[in-house]
Amino acid sequence: MRILARLRHDRRVPLPTSAPTLTDGVVTLRAHTPDDAEGVLAMARDPETVRWTSIPVPYGPGHARRWIEEKAPHDWRTGAAFRWAVEADGRFAGNLDVNPGPPPSVGFGLAPVARGRGVMARAQRLAARWAFREAGLPVLHWWAQAGNLASWRVAHACGFRHEGTRRLAVPRRGGLVDGWFASLTATDPMTPRTIWWPTPTLTGERVRLRPHTAADLPRIVEACADPRTRHWLPGLPHPYTVEAAQEFVLTARLDESLGRSVTWAVADPVDDRLLANISVFALDDPVNPTAGEIGYWAHPDARGRGVVGGALDLVVAHAVTPVAAGGLGRHRLQIGASWSNTASRHVAERAGFRLAGRFTRDGVVGIDGDRTIEDGAWYELLA
């Protein structure tokens, strides 16, 4: 309230006390009307809305009416928040709020029928321009529960800069949860700051590469708790829990959105069981922006069957394919392994990677108190 009062006092033309209509010709922001009640109710009852917000459960018609007839108009009159209905194709498509703060922030919810079409990104740009130019706000902050990729995709498309993850920073039903945070200033271009690498399904004779699913978590735990995996990857959490597997998958998805890496589950093409994991990372290296590094591990029951080799062939082909053709556009790839890790080295050599050098005392291997520093074998492949 204080920041809005100051903004209104400093302006020659006072801010509106009801929602102004904003449009880009495709999406419109406008005041709520009684006709929006059915759409608000359907959106509020949608499982994804319930999952990612603190909206009342159960949400009834009375909640929708009070939002439309009381809450949104009251907040415009008092300056507590600027709340719009989002309209697309002539129908209600969601809600969008700008809170003047401090700190100034944005929030939004999209109706299921409008998702996946860029509607909310258009709406967010309209609201941000109004907030910066008309309300004079210097910045807009966005936050969401960690893992809410749909909400982050909107903020990412609008040029918000990801600030990181804060533990137990977002209130949700039943307590606090980890949150993702990002910001957009008045001088920032409203375009993505990073490429959001897709994770396409790649299919070969022995394996199928795809994004991870919840069904993969137990297999990830088994693989990363295995003594042999832990020997070569001593940085893995121990004990390795389902929560650690969830964090691994979530970090992989976030890193793809920040242009850092692409990670696949290597699955059995018949029963879809996770067999291994493979990633291309260091994709955002400012020194060599067309290079990348590949890392992989296999579930114990998938070793010695050519699973990782088959996955590596698919990943290399995808990595050297130009971006315009759907690939990663890499000109150079590298793989690093401990000198004594003959299995990992064999995979690299079989795929055509050339030994570039032996690096003295390059990394730590071993479990718990039995750790040593070993030389590293580094391989390279040029497109």
340 shares a domain with 367 = yes
Strand boundaries in the chain, DSSP class E: 22-23, 27-30, 82-88, 91-99, 105-110, 139-145, 161-172, 175-185, 202-203, 208-210, 262-267, 274-281, 291-298, 332-338, 354-367, 370-382
What pLDDT score was predicted for residue 13?
A: 57
Query: Is 196 among the domain residues?
Result: no
What pLDDT score was predicted for residue 7?
A: 53
Tokens of 105: 């922030």
What pLDDT score was predicted for residue 106?
A: 98
User: What is the C-alpha to C-alpha distance for residues 227 and 300, in angstroms, rounded to an integer?
Assistant: 10
* Domain-ending residue, one of 160, 185, 210: 185
What pLDDT score was predicted for residue 50?
A: 95
What pLDDT score was predicted for residue 69?
A: 95
Give the Å distances, CA to CA, from 241 to 70, 225, 236, 245, 316: 47, 8, 11, 6, 31
| Host domain of residue 33 | 2-185
* Domain-ending residue, one of 128, 151, 185: 185
Query: Is 271 among the domain residues?
Result: yes
Query: Is 194 among the domain residues?
Result: no
* Domain-ending residue, one of 153, 185, 217: 185
Ordered per-residue pLDDT tens for the chain, 383 residues = 444 545 544 554 588 999 999 999 999 999 999 999 999 999 999 999 999 999 999 999 999 999 999 999 999 999 999 999 999 999 999 999 999 999 999 999 999 999 999 999 999 999 999 999 999 999 999 999 999 999 999 999 999 999 999 999 999 988 999 999 999 999 999 999 999 999 999 999 999 999 999 999 999 999 999 999 999 999 999 999 999 999 999 999 999 999 999 999 999 999 999 999 999 999 999 999 999 999 999 999 999 999 999 999 999 999 999 999 999 999 999 999 999 999 999 999 999 999 999 999 999 999 877 899 999 999 999 99
Kindly report the CATH number assigned to the domain that includes residue 285.
Answer: 3.40.630.30
Angle at 106 between CA 105 and CA 111, to 5 degrees: 165
Contact 123, 107 (CB under 8 A): no
**What is the domain count for the chain?**
2
Q: What is the pTM of this model?
A: 0.91
Query: Is 60 among the domain residues?
Result: yes
What pLDDT score was predicted for residue 368?
A: 78
39 shares a domain with 147 = yes
208 shares a domain with 180 = no
Query: Is 193 among the domain residues?
Result: no
Query: Is 191 among the domain residues?
Result: no
Q: Which residues pair with 156 in a beta bridge?
A: none
User: What is the C-alpha to C-alpha distance for residues 281 and 214, in angstroms, rounded to an integer?
Assistant: 23
311 shares a domain with 178 = no
